[in-house]
Structure 1
Amino acid sequence: MAPQREEEVPVRRAAAFGCRLPTRFPPGEILTDIMQHQWRLGGAIGHGGFGDIYLASNLINRSVGHDASYVIKIEPHNNGPLFVEMNFYIRAAQWHMIEDWCKQQRVGRVGVPPYQGAGSHTYKGQRYRFLVLPRYGVDVNKLFLSRGRKLPERLVYSLAVQMIDALEYIHSKGYAHADVKGSNILLSLDTKNFLEQDPEAYLVDYGLAFRFRTRAGTHKPFAHDERRAHEGTLEFTSRDAHHGTHSRRGDLETLGYNLIQWLCGRLPWEKESGGMSVTTSPQAVHSQKELMFSDVPRFMRECFLFQQTPPVNLTEYMEYVAKLGFETRPDYNYLRSLFSRSVWQNDISMKKSHKRPPNENKSYGKPIKRLCVRNSGRKPCVPVNCEMRITRKNHPTNHRTEFSWEEVLARHPDKMARSQPVITPLSPPLTPPPSPPPPALPTYAMLQVLQRIKERQSGSIKSRNLCKTLDHDLKPKWMTPAMEAVAIQLQTRLAKSVISSSNEKSTSSSLRITRSKAALLNRQSGFGDKILEKMGISSLTQLETTKSRRRRSAKMT
């Protein structure tokens, strides 16, 4: 017996933290999207923490019945999830984008709803956002609860293959879903018997979609963000999402939690009756997940206590996710092959085969032929123009190791993210580190410093600590008595060389320099001029006079 439709199940309205629910819209309200297409509202069929969902039709002259082909999500402008979802559909889920990707991959369909329309609407003085989507049937979570919290393997493996396809498309557009769960997976509306045939599944609700790829095409690095930590549904939140970041491996990890729950009934961190307690600490759940990935086979045995051996394909799936890097592109073909029909039809264990099996899904065509290059000596082939194929050379191997607390604590992501190791160089650097560039607009304090530097260079400001002489001459602060003696000796030596070169007679005992000799010396010796300028003295005669005056003043004091 199929469960009730979503519009038949009463739901209590409760606003999310920091958000407000929209006002109830009356049936027949006309909404106009950004492409000037008009939509007519019907009855409300769902309520969430951020907004409401209504039946809708593009035939505005008729009343909307229960057989409507569209639904409209409405949120107040102050709420954020619908804005993120609208941007995802406009940028990554247009009709032509999905069709081009299906032709490129040679598949019949992908479980991502196509974009229909979006816009803003004003009702009773308040602005609202709305998003138009195709209408689907019951979600997997309601089917899971209606069957006593357990789904058959046939349906679970079919959903796994379709969700891997949907995630591959989403990841190809640079986004991560970040909230994969049963209530966000809707089955096709025309499916009557969910157990005898494979229903078409669609992944919806992109309110937490995360753009992991930058505009330059590179993957965003791992960064701990307390503002977004533990984001999503707690029982299915990935280890990366507990840190506040998302990636491709996080979506695959979240999907693995759902598959385990659908097969065994509940996850180890859930209550006995299912679900999470209100008092459950997100940090405690995060620690259990980290411990689980340290020994995947042991975790699988704890989940499937009622079976002698856990499903081999699901164990290999979780081990592959455990070894996947944060920025590594997953091998979607290999993950699909783990849940192919041969696993549950013929009841055989799927070995590590990397070729996509034929007729895996009724909507898939022939597999893509990929170019490979073989090295000499029967070595494993290496992919050339494709990164999604894993060969015998680089296939992940599973080595069962014994559990060790030291190993778990050594690679704990919390400690790796929050504590950054400080690397001290063995020897000091040869060159000092470059100074940071100045800001574009200098501040008032910087302008004052620049002005003081210019005044000091021009000589308008003199130091307060200079010793004043009797004739009010100032002694430079940087010139010591020893430096003065050296300057006098250097100046005397230069004067002697100038006098000897001009064939002028002078005695070796004469230490007095006349004004004419000092002028000649100043003209031919640039170095002497600089020294005298720094000392504030025009000639050597004045220098000697200044020294004698200082000595007399020192004796008097």
Structure 2
Amino acid sequence: MAPRRAEEFPLKRVAALGCRLPSRLPAGEILTDITGNLWRLGNSIGCGGFGDVYLASNDIHKSVGQNTKYVIKIEPHNNGPLFVEMNFYIRAARKQMIDEWCKIQNLRQVGIPSYEGSGSHIYKNERYRFLVIPRYGQDVGKLFISNGRKLSKKLINSLAVQMLYALEYIHSKGYAHSDVKGSNILLKKNYDYSSELEKTRAFLVDYGLAYRFRTSNGAHKPFFHDERRAHEGTLEFTSRDAHHGTHSRRGDLETLGYNLLQWLCGKLPWEDDNGGLSPSANPDEIHDKKENYLLDVDSFMKACFQDKKPPENITNYMKYITNLKFESEPDYAYLRSLFRQDMSFESLFGKRKSFANENSAAIEKRNNRPNLRERKPCKPLNREIRITRNTPSSVEQDKEIDDFRWEEVLARHPDRLAKISAQPPSSPLTPPPSPPPPTLPTYAMLAVLQRMKERQTGLVRQRTNSKSSDNELKAKWMTPAMEEVALLRKKNQEQLDNNVNETKRLTRSRVAQLKRKRPSSGKQQESKNISNPNAFSCCAA
């Protein structure tokens, strides 16, 4: 089962199942990351089921104060979550990557911590893995509990918009967070619960369960029930897909929706009266409750808000998630527009060109403004008229539409037709196509070919040295050119043997001479040799 929230056990260090907690490192310990930068440890400020969190500074000559800008997460080298988190930061959360994405989105900042450093450290003959990230303030989970398990609507709207930006960035890099919850959302500063709190920036942290939902060739991984990762995450907020052991973009959005409902209502329908779940809660039962509730979103909203009227934005949000397919890309702009009511986000994100999209009401207001310049229809280009909403209609155009034929259009654009993929659409339950085999042999293939060649060569030598008359053994590795050369050598050898036999050809006088030299006991053998002249030639040789 998923570990409980850290704020519920502030003093007791409990290791997660299958993991062990590291030993406490002393303040002042110097760590060296993979780029050679030095970091000085401060006091421990938190712990989880896999490791500890320390204050840190890049100035190793001074003691680490409480106002330092960095923290370091440390885990034993055998634990896995920090290894996964380090890979996510290195692959997807470098400062340059975040800045480029914000520039494209016309934002000043997005709620993703930047990668500062990572590496390994040995302390008392034990090996540890560490990760350096910026330091932030209080997490939303503690703020939720300290405020009587309730947050204001303005703060919830602000957090929803900021987390949707953060999730959009993570998903653009091919990752799913898989564990969105209040204790993993940190505020920029330690504000008191006041009107300034809604303007504070929030950052999504803890990527120990980050999941790559795209393959190396860019294809989306299909839906697959994986018992090893089933019910992964925090059980209260685990998405229905995560209960099956698979993760996607819609799973992160569903998990965020559960958090929003908890902040609005105080607890979820499957939680206990005081909130949270008991340690003996059955993950399969929680999964069944979520499936049944989301079959009818309206009844789900009634179970959450009971006698109160549910907000329209959260209802539309959950309806959108339930209708979203597993591999579909969400409309983040539409989802953000649901929570932008009565909010001023220029102080958070900077000015944007437009926050609206096709699903928002801002376009209708823009079209009703009388001072906007009328757009002229596009001019014909390459004898093709581009039809826009402002293009004047005429009888000739209507006639052309009636006489429209696909054959003429396709005949006019053969290059476009060639670009249409002839492959059938893949089923969401079928795996993506495997990449084509390499054009050149690999080192392993070359080694196998070399061993085959050596075996064949050794076999040829063995048969050649065994005085066998079979010299026509052809190795499997011989090329056609090599076979031609071997055939020419064989013909030359045969011709040379014939010439030698002709020079040593037996005559009558030579036969008589040989008879006189041999004893009488060998007459029978001589008669055989006479009948076979080649035998004499062999003897003469």
TM class by smaller structure: 0.5 to 0.7
Mark the CA change 1:341 to 1:360 in structure 2 (over 3 Å): closer, same or farther. farther
**8 Å contact kept, 1:11–1:46:** no
**C-alpha contact (below 8 Å) 2:334/2:357 kept by paired residues:** no
3-state SS of paired residue (2:74): strand
Distance 1:270 1:375 in 2: 55
Q: Which residue of 2 aligns with 1:81?
A: 81
- Aligned residues of 1:188 and 1:201 also touching (Cα < 8 A): yes
Is 2:113 the partner of 1:113? yes
Aligned pairs (5 A) from 1:368-387? none
Contact 2:337 2:355 in 1 (8 A): no
- CA gap 1:371/1:224 in 2 versus in 1, 3 angstroms: closer
Deviations 1:235-267 (A, max 9, x none): 000000000000000000000000000000000
SS at match of 2:261: helix
User: Counterparts of 1:185 and 1:369 in 2: how far apart (Å)?
Assistant: 24
Letter in 1 for 2:249: R
Correspondence 1:179-258 to 2 at 5 A = 179-189=179-189, 191-197=191-197, 198-258=199-259
1:367 aligns with 2:350: no
User: 1:21 & 1:200 partners in 2: Cα distance?
Assistant: 31
Partner of 1:429: none
Aligned to 1:327: 327
In the TM superposition, 1:116-515 aligns within 5 A as 116-189=116-189, 191-197=191-197, 198-307=199-308, 309-342=309-342, 362-367=348-353
Q: What is the CA-CA distance between 1:341 and the residue it aligns to?
A: 3.0
- Do 2:138 and 2:186's aligned partners in 1 also have CA atoms closer than 8 Å? yes
Cα separation, 1, equivalents of 2:81 and 2:221: 21
What whole-Å deviation, never above 9, does each CA across 1:279-328 have from its counterpart, x for those lacking one?
21111110111111110011101110141x10000000000000000000
**Cα distance between partner residues in 2 of 1:250 and 1:369:** 24
Distance 1:269 1:359, change over 3 A: closer
TM-score w.r.t. structure 2 length? 0.64
Name structure 2 gaps, 5 residues minimum.
1-5, 359-377, 379-385, 392-427, 431-444, 447-541
- How far did 1:362 drift? 3.6
Q: Which has the higher helix share?
A: 2
Q: SS at 1:169's partner residue?
A: helix
Deviations 1:438-457 (A, max 9, x none): xx99xxxxxxxxxxxxxxxx
Question: For 2:321 and 2:345, how far apart are their aligned partners in 1?
Answer: 25
Contact persistence 1:135–1:189 (CA under 8 A): no
How many matched pairs? 366
CA–CA distance in 1 between the matches of 2:312 and 2:69? 41
Query: CA shift at 1:199, angstroms?
Result: 1.2
Shift of 1:375: 5.4
Instruction: State how far apart, in whole Å, the 2-side matches of 1:207 and 1:34 are.
Output: 20
Unaligned runs of 5+ in 1: 1-5, 346-357, 380-415, 421-439, 442-557
The AA in structure 1 aligned to 2:350 is Y
Helix, strand or coil at the partner of 1:61 = coil
CA distance in structure 1 between the aligned counterparts of 2:355 and 2:288, rounded to whole angstroms: 43
Q: What is the one-letter code of the residue matched to 1:20?
A: R
Shift of the 371–183 alpha-carbon distance from structure 1 to 2, 3 Å rule, reads closer
How far residue 360 of structure 1 moved from its aligned partner, in angstroms, is 6.3
CA distance in 2, matches of 1:244, 1:360: 39
User: Aligned-pair distance for 1:196?
Assistant: 3.3
Cα distance 1:70–1:377, how it changes in 2: closer, same or farther (>3 A)?
closer
Once residues 135 and 276 of structure 1 are traced to their aligned partners in structure 2, the CA distance between those partners, rounded to angstroms, is 30
2-structure distance, mates of 1:160, 1:370: 16
Alpha-carbon distance in 2 for matches of 1:234, 1:51 = 20
Tell me, in whole angstroms, the C-alpha distance in 2 between the residues paired with 1:263 and 1:140.
13
CA distance in 1, matches of 2:307, 2:25: 49
Task: Give the alignment's Cα RMSD to 1 decimal.
Answer: 2.8
Q: Which has the higher contact order (CA 8 A, sep 6+)?
A: 2
CA distance in 2, matches of 1:60, 1:247: 42
Shift of 1:82: 0.1
Asked if structure 1 preserves the Cα contact closer than 8 Å seen for 2:112 and 2:204, the reply is yes
Change (3 A) 1:62 1:263: same
3-state DSSP class of the match of 1:235? coil
Please report how far the alpha carbon of residue 100 of structure 1 lies from its aligned counterpart in structure 2 after TM superposition.
0.3
Local SS of the residue matching 1:196: helix
**Divergent runs of 4+, >3 A:** 190-197, 358-362, 368-379
Deviation at 1:195, TM superposition (A): 3.6
Shift of residue 53, structure 1, vs aligned partner: 0.4
Q: 1:59-78 counterparts in 2 under 5 A?
A: 59-78=59-78
* Per-residue deviation, residues 453-504 of structure 1 (Å, max 9, x unmatched): xxxxxxxxxxxxxxxxxxxxxxxxxxxxxxxxxxxxxxxxxxxxxxxxxxxx
**Does the Cα contact within 8 Å between 1:155 and 1:195 map onto a contact in 2?**
no
Contact 2:51 2:73 in 1 (8 A): yes
Tell me the residue number matched to 1:12: 12
What letter matches 2:292 in structure 1? L
Kept in 1: contact 2:337–2:356 (CA 8 A): no
CA distance in 1, matches of 2:335, 2:350: 16
Is contact 1:84-1:207 (8 Å) kept? yes
Check conservation: 2:333, 2:355, Cα contact below 8 A.
Answer: no
Aligned with 2:166: secondary structure?
helix
CA distance in 2 between counterparts of 1:190 and 1:302 reads: 34
Q: Is the 8 A contact 2:42 2:64 kept in 1?
A: yes
Cα pair 1:229 1:241 within 8 Å, conserved:
yes
Q: Does 367-376 or 52-61 show the bigger shift?
A: 367-376
Q: Is the 8 A contact 1:73 1:131 kept in 2?
A: yes
Question: One-letter code of the match for 1:315?
Answer: T
Counterpart contact for 2:237–2:258, Cα < 8 Å: yes
Q: Normalising by the residue count of structure 1, what TM-score does the alignment of the two structures yield?
A: 0.62
Letter in 1 for 2:341: R
Structure 1 counterpart of 2:516: none
Q: Give the whole-Å Cα distance in 1 for the aligned partners of 2:387 and 2:303.
A: 44
User: 1:425: which partner in 2?
Assistant: none
Matches of residues 37-56 of structure 1 in structure 2 within 5 Å? 37-56=37-56
